[in-house]
Amino acid sequence: MLNEKRVRIVTGHYGSGKTEFSVNYTFRLAEAGKKTAIVDLDIVNPYFRSRELEPQFNAKGVRVISSSVKGLSGDLPALSPEIYTVLQDTSYEVVLDVGGDKVGATALGRYHEYFDREPYDMLFVINANRHLTSTPEEAVRYLRAIETGSRQKVTALVNNTHLCSETRLEDIVRGQELAEKVSSMTGLPVKYIAAERKFADLLPAGMQGEIFPIDIHMKKPWED
Residues forming contacts to another protein in the complex (CB under 8 A) are 14-15, 45-48, 72-75, 127, 129-131, 134, 162-164, 166, 220-222, 224
Could you tell me which of 218, 160, 113, 136 has the C-alpha nearest to residue 12?
A: 160
As measured in angstroms, the least distance from the Cβ of 136 to another protein is 17
Say if CB 174 and CB 141 are below 8 A apart: no
Name the residue nearer to another protein (CB basis): 49 or 63: 49
**Shortest Cβ 222–another protein spacing (Å):** 4
Identity of the residue, 129 or 152, whose beta carbon is nearer to another protein in the bound complex = 129
Q: Report in angstroms how near the CB of residue 65 gets to another protein at its nearest.
A: 20
Q: Residue 9 and residue 180: Cα distance in Å, rounded?
A: 20
Kindly tell me which of 15 and 149 has the beta carbon lying closer to another protein: 15
β-pairing, 210-214 vs 93-98, is unpaired
Helix or strand holding residue 137 (H, E): helix 136-150
Q: C-beta of 44: minimal distance to another protein in Å? A: 8
- Give the largest CA-CA distance in the chain: 46
Q: Which amino acid is at 25?
A: Y
Residue nearer to another protein on the CB measure, 29 or 179: 179
User: Least distance in Å: CB of 53 to another protein?
Assistant: 16
Q: Which is nearer to another protein, 53 or 62 (CB)?
A: 53
Distance CA 221, CA 124 (A): 28
